[in-house]
Chains A and B, each alone.
Chain A
């Protein structure tokens, strides 16, 4: 089949695919939930919003769970180091995520308005907080994280929750929250009518433009103000992980390396910015399908740009740069990567197939009359 080097590269791509899958699917339901108390006026409008994603949010969230599982299987050192390192941030994310399934299923089971309002906020917190923290995490990855290993590859992590909340990371967090919000607004335009639809168009076109600005600002900041990492020794891409054996240089403008070598890569961030701008434009023009597509493309480009900028790094260490984790030396064994590749080749197409079918079955717009007609059966 493939050699170890190719498998490692393919898995770098596959992890990216899973993250993009998460952003494009779970991104819109998190965005809608974040907007719930902003654009939804009154119980029935909020129910329209909730039910527009009710059949899908759970399947969407599995992209996140799968990304976690795939990280564990394909890059065990990254799973171990990142989840341990970002401990409190991840735990807060989990606490927020706890609220989502309950808010969806329990909210409309009782008539009591206080009950429903509390769960509305639960849904918003459960979606907005993870969206923010994921961005903060990536913002920190780009700056390097303070960890190193001992002789037996036991992790030593220095740093706490507050260190994660630096200005650059907060900018990244804001971008990730707002791009989910934009995507959610685009979804609402596909699935709702009347005022709800026009309100979300107004908000979505604004947040799309802010996203474009934040993305550009983040890029400039990264190139001018954040040190980049480069491997200066030769990594044996076919051999065992020698995670602590390489030599890594840290330098200003270091994250430019890949772009100087392959200028075509500039297309990725440019496409991202254009995607956000096009999304704002098409929302104004009422071209909903195009708006949803362009916000999806823009988000994909944000994820891909981050990955390509850091390549081959996935988790640089600011404490001991030589111990940084790269997609060459922080992977699973060749056999595990091979087996998991076969599994992915079989199941991801199947997943896409029945996911598409479920969206097709549940197609169409929702309105308040529909909520009244199906009061007991809906969320």
Chain B
């Protein structure tokens, strides 16, 4: 493998492992805040025990979220150095704001959440828990503003003097519609993850006939919260942003294996085997009209097909060659009359010109064969996107069904009587992770061949390193992360099995459970 592929693999691995822990943190932090609110409002100590027990599992997950998060903050610079130079003026800001606005609050308050129980009044501790949950969600906002900009780069412009993209409008970057839908979709997915986690483990207790009072209440809260969140994920799915920008259009066409443009509204391919060679989907089962409705939110907007997108890309690549040649002249002393004016006309296609640099040393004079190669590579492989999207949707709908049933049974106050439902809930435990990972795969693999959509191809974004160096770190991270994940999962199941009573939470008398006494003052 070459350095580009190794760098991509390292980023994909670190990001995907990181995202095993993020959604649970997002969802569980809100659930903890809800449980503790019930405790403060009703004064029933069982809700405090719930907050503490689920809080312990939250902590085990949170630690690995922090560990894998550190790598994310630093590896743009370590492994994507030209990327960092080229777009740092825009991309760095949301990352820094995330740290200042969210990480500080989250990390400071998580300490008080765990160790402040007996040092803070009920109300103050509740405020700490809510602020911690809020900070977690704000962190998602800023990182998705950054990611949304990679998908649909708005509010910025190439500065030929500094040879990088520079910020023009911060408001546009912040209010980027792609970022906004991503935020809602991602945090809702986090809430679903938290809800399934609590629901599945509570169901296991109910199946075993243990911790009944504790598990019923947890089950009820998780099913109600989960139902609302699952509806939100599906209704506010992020394909609503897929009309915006070329990257999103390509992604949509690939997800749907839409080889050619069809008359609106487009059909949804429920099942099929995408055949890359013949640009055709074998054995397709289609539902008329549905996809056009989902993707464009209208009945008369076309969903562009891959063939048409490629034609468009070819034009833009040819324009990009001219933009590249003009840029070379403008950055040297050979500027001619009218170069700048012409550059203004074609500058939006410069990124497409840069795509050619993977196949030709002389972008401005690339051959037709080289242009053909760049055009082919301008669309990601269809089948991985087609299938991971369907995996996500299937997992999503099955969780919606589960929450609906669980909510119904919990309203009737007898969830433990229906054992098949409890088993359904237990075996659904992996679903939110499958959905989250598949969803991110669609978002990021679907962005290929771009690092920044229409601006910077991924092969130019890498660092000045050797393949061996990246291979070494990739293997090291692989070994470390695998070890960590095994330890984390073992601890998680260990404490879930012990349960609230086995961990000593329910044995103590109601007022002194899980005590943290005031330590001795100055001797």
Q: Are B163 and A94 in contact (CB under 8 A)?
A: no
Instruction: Decide if A43 is an interface residue (CB 8 Å cutoff).
Output: no
Given the complex of chains A and B, what is the CA–CA distance between A59 and B465 in angstroms? 33
Report B46-90 CB contacts with A as 1/0, cut-off 8 Å. Answer: 000000000000011011101110110110111001101100111
Instruction: Decide if B110 is an interface residue (CB 8 Å cutoff).
Output: yes
Give the residue among A58, A240, A367 with the most B Cβ atoms within 10 A.
A58
Instruction: Decide if A156 is an interface residue (CB 8 Å cutoff).
Output: yes
Instruction: Decide if A336 is an interface residue (CB 8 Å cutoff).
Output: yes
Given the complex of chains A and B, what is the CA–CA distance between A332 and B96 in angstroms? 13
Q: Are B70 and A65 in contact (CB under 8 A)?
A: yes
Instruction: Decide if B221 is an interface residue (CB 8 Å cutoff).
Output: no
Instruction: Decide if A259 is an interface residue (CB 8 Å cutoff).
Output: no
Do A84 and B78 contact each other (CB < 8 Å), given the known contacts A69-B95, A72-B92, A105-B59? yes
Main secondary structure of the interface of B (DSSP, over half): helix
Question: Could you say which residues of chain B place their CB within 8 Å of the CB of A223?
Answer: none
On chain B, the number of residues with a Cβ less than 8 Å from chain A's Cβ atoms is 82
Q: Are B515 and A373 in contact (CB under 8 A)?
A: yes
Q: Are B464 and A90 in contact (CB under 8 A)?
A: no
Instruction: Decide if A73 is an interface residue (CB 8 Å cutoff).
Output: yes
Given the complex of chains A and B, what is the CA–CA distance between A105 and B70 in angstroms? 16
Instruction: Decide if A221 is an interface residue (CB 8 Å cutoff).
Output: no
Q: Are A106 and B63 in contact (CB under 8 A)?
A: yes
Closest to B98 in A: A69
Q: Which of B112, B162, B331 contacts A240 (CB 8 A)?
A: B162
| B119-146 CB contacts (< 8 Å) to partner A | 119-120
Q: Are A73 and B112 in contact (CB under 8 A)?
A: no
Report B458-476 CB contacts with A as 1/0, cut-off 8 Å. Answer: 0000011100010011001
Q: Are B114 and A55 in contact (CB under 8 A)?
A: yes
**B28, chain A: closest CB distance, angstroms:** 15
Instruction: Decide if A268 is an interface residue (CB 8 Å cutoff).
Output: no
Question: Could you say which residues of chain B place their CB within 8 Å of the CB of A94?
Answer: 70-71, 74
Q: Are A104 and B63 in contact (CB under 8 A)?
A: yes
Do A154 and B82 contact each other (CB < 8 Å), given the known contacts A98-B480, A361-B112? yes
Do A102 and B63 contact each other (CB < 8 Å), given the known contacts A72-B96, A335-B167, A347-B101? yes
Question: Could you say which residues of chain B place their CB within 8 Å of the CB of A343?
Answer: 96-97, 100-101
Q: Are A76 and B84 in contact (CB under 8 A)?
A: yes
Do A377 and B516 contact each other (CB < 8 Å), given the known contacts A62-B99, A94-B71? yes
Main secondary structure of the interface of A (DSSP, over half): helix
| A81-104 CB contacts (< 8 Å) to partner B | 81-84, 87-88, 90-91, 94-95, 97-102, 104
Give the residue among B88, B170, B521, B522 with the most A Cβ atoms within 10 A.
B88
Instruction: Decide if B288 is an interface residue (CB 8 Å cutoff).
Output: no
Instruction: Decide if B341 is an interface residue (CB 8 Å cutoff).
Output: no
Question: Could you say which residues of chain B place their CB within 8 Å of the CB of A6?
Answer: none
Question: Could you say which residues of chain B place their CB within 8 Å of the CB of A121?
Answer: none
| A331-371 CB contacts (< 8 Å) to partner B | 332-333, 335-336, 339-340, 343-344, 347-348, 351, 354-355, 358, 361-362, 364-367, 369-370
Report B509-523 CB contacts with A as 1/0, cut-off 8 Å. Answer: 000001111111111
Q: Are B89 and A332 in contact (CB under 8 A)?
A: yes
Question: Could you say which residues of chain B place their CB within 8 Å of the CB of A241?
Answer: 161-162
Do A76 and B164 contact each other (CB < 8 Å), given the known contacts A91-B473, A374-B515? yes
**B149, chain A: closest CB distance, angstroms:** 13
Q: Are A339 and B476 in contact (CB under 8 A)?
A: no
**A160, chain B: closest CB distance, angstroms:** 9
Given the complex of chains A and B, what is the CA–CA distance between A80 and B81 in angstroms? 5
Do A157 and B491 contact each other (CB < 8 Å), given the known contacts A66-B104, A332-B92, A336-B93? no
Given the complex of chains A and B, what is the CA–CA distance between A354 and B480 in angstroms? 34
Q: Are A76 and B115 in contact (CB under 8 A)?
A: no
Given the complex of chains A and B, what is the CA–CA distance between A81 and B312 in angstroms? 36
Q: Which of B161, B472, B487, B519 contacts A366 (CB 8 A)?
A: B519
Do A69 and B78 contact each other (CB < 8 Å), given the known contacts A80-B84, A80-B88? no
Question: Could you say which residues of chain B place their CB within 8 Å of the CB of A101?
Answer: 62-64, 66-67
Given the complex of chains A and B, what is the CA–CA distance between A347 and B331 in angstroms? 39
Closest to B59 in A: A105
Given the complex of chains A and B, what is the CA–CA distance between A348 and B96 in angstroms? 12
Q: Which of A80, A344, A367 contacts B77 (CB 8 A)?
A: A80
Besides A83-B77, A343-B96, A362-B112, 19 other CB < 8 A contacts? A54-B114, A54-B115, A55-B114, A61-B107, A73-B93, A79-B77, A80-B77, A88-B472, A90-B78, A94-B74, A98-B484, A105-B63, A332-B92, A336-B166, A340-B93, A354-B109, A364-B519, A366-B519, A377-B514
A-B contact list, 21 entries, CB within 8 Å: A58-B110, A58-B111, A59-B108, A59-B111, A61-B66, A69-B96, A73-B88, A76-B89, A80-B88, A81-B85, A87-B469, A94-B70, A106-B63, A110-B491, A153-B162, A332-B89, A354-B105, A364-B520, A374-B516, A377-B114, A377-B115
A residues within 8 Å of B by Cβ? 54-59, 61-62, 65-66, 68-74, 76-77, 79-84, 87-88, 90-91, 94-95, 97-102, 104-106, 109-110, 151-157, 193-194, 240-242, 332-333, 335-336, 339-340, 343-344, 347-348, 351, 354-355, 358, 361-362, 364-367, 369-370, 373-374, 376-378
B residues within 8 Å of A by Cβ? 59-60, 62-64, 66-68, 70-71, 73-74, 76-78, 81-82, 84-85, 88-93, 95-101, 103-105, 107-112, 114-117, 119-120, 159, 161-164, 166-168, 170, 331, 463-465, 469, 472-473, 476-477, 480, 484, 487, 491, 495, 503-504, 514-523
Instruction: Return the 10 tightest CB-CB contacts between A and B, nearest first.
Output: A76-B88, A83-B77, A55-B111, A72-B92, A73-B92, A59-B108, A84-B81, A69-B96, A105-B63, A80-B84
